[in-house]
Amino acid sequence: MTKRFLITVGILGATSVILGAVGAHKLKEFLSPEHLNTFNTGVQYQMYHTLALLGLIFMNRYVSRSYLNIIYYFFTIGIVLFSGSLYLLSLSELTGINFGFLGPVTPLGGVLFILGWLLLMYTGFIYKHKKRSHKHS
Please indicate, yes or no, if residue 43 is contained in any of the structural domains: yes
In a domain, 52, yes or no: yes
Q: Classify residue 115: in a domain, yes or no.
A: yes
Q: What is the pLDDT of residues 37-73, one digit of tens each?
A: 999 999 999 999 999 999 999 988 888 899 999 999 9
Judge whether 130 lies within some domain: no
**Domain presence at residue 116:** yes
List, for residues 14-41, the tens digit of each pLDDT value.
999 999 999 999 998 899 999 999 999 9
Residue 23 lies in a domain: yes
Report how many domains make up the chain.
1
The answer to the question of residue 36 being in a domain is yes
Long-range Cβ pairs for the range 90-99 (8 Å, 24+): 90/31, 90/35, 90/36, 90/38, 90/39, 90/42, 91/31, 91/35, 91/39, 92/35, 93/30, 93/31, 93/32, 93/35, 94/27, 94/30, 94/31
Domain hosting residue 14, numbered range: 2-124
Q: Has residue 51 been placed in a domain?
A: yes
